[in-house]
Amino acid sequence: MHILGRGTIFDARTAPSEARFCTFPSLACTESGRLIVSFRTGSAKDSADEDCRVMASDDRGATWQTIFTGFGDVPPGRGRIRCLGITAACRGRLIGSLGWVDRSDPTLPLFNPQTEGILPTKVLFVESRDSGRFWPAPREVALLPHTGNAVTGAILSLKNGALALPYEAWKEYGDPDPARHHASLRISADGGATWPELGIVAHDPAGRLLYWDQRLSVDPETGELIAMFWTHDREAGRDLDIHSAAGSPDGRRWSQPASTGIAGQICAPLALDGGRVFAAYVHRHHPPSLRAILSDDCGRTWTAADELVFYEKKAGGESGMHGQRDFADYWADMSIWTFGHPAPLLLPDGDIMVAYYAGDETAMGIHWVRIGLDVPLAES
- The mean-pLDDT minimum among 61-75, 121-135, 362-376 falls in 362-376
Per-residue pLDDT tens digits for 334-351: 777 899 999 999 999 999
Q: Over pLDDT 70: what percentage of the chain? A: 94
Alpha-carbon Rg of the chain, whole angstroms?
Answer: 19
Name residue 275's beta-bridge partners: none
Over range 138-157, report the average pLDDT.
95
Instruction: Give the amino acid at 61.
Output: G
pLDDT at position 125 is 97
Q: Residue 379's pLDDT band (boundaries 50, 70, 90)? A: very low
254 has pLDDT over 60: yes
- Top CATH class of 2-379 equals mainly beta
Residue 58 burial (10 A CB sphere; 0-12, 13-18, 19+) = middle
pLDDT at position 53 is 97
- The mean-pLDDT minimum among 34-48, 203-217, 319-333 falls in 319-333
Query: Could you give the 3-state DSSP secondary structure of residue 274?
Result: helix
Cβ neighbour number for residue 91 with a 10 Å cutoff: 9
Contacts of 168 by beta carbon, 8 Å cutoff, 6+ apart: 149, 150, 152, 181, 182, 183, 184, 211, 212, 213, 214
218 has pLDDT over 60: yes
Summary mean pLDDT of the chain: 92
pLDDT at position 75 is 87
Per-residue pLDDT tens digits for 281-330: 999 888 899 999 999 999 999 988 889 999 998 876 565 555 666 666 66
User: Model-level pTM?
Assistant: 0.93
Over range 360-371, report the average pLDDT.
96
The backbone region for 206, taken as left when phi is positive above 0, alpha when psi lies in -120 to 50, beta otherwise, is alpha
pLDDT at position 334 is 73
Query: Could you give the 3-state DSSP secondary structure of residue 330?
Result: helix
Q: Over pLDDT 90: what percentage of the chain? A: 84
Q: Residue 370's pLDDT band (boundaries 50, 70, 90)? A: very high
Per-residue pLDDT tens digits for 40-99: 999 999 999 999 999 999 999 999 999 999 999 998 889 999 999 999 998 889 999 999
The backbone region for 37, taken as left when phi is positive above 0, alpha when psi lies in -120 to 50, beta otherwise, is beta
The rounded distance, in Å, linking the Cα atoms of 211 and 300 is: 18
129 has pLDDT over 80: yes
The rounded distance, in Å, linking the Cα atoms of 128 and 91 is: 11
pLDDT at position 286 is 83
Over range 223-243, report the average pLDDT.
95
Please name which of 75, 77, 96, 73 lies closest in space to residue 24, comparing C-alpha atoms.
96
Instruction: Give the amino acid at 156.
Output: L
Q: Kindly list the domain boundaries of the chain, sorted by start residue.
A: 2-379
229 has pLDDT over 80: yes
Angle at 376 between CA 372 and CA 380, to 5 degrees: 130
Per-residue pLDDT tens digits for 1-32: 999 999 999 999 999 999 999 999 999 999 99
pLDDT at position 327 is 66
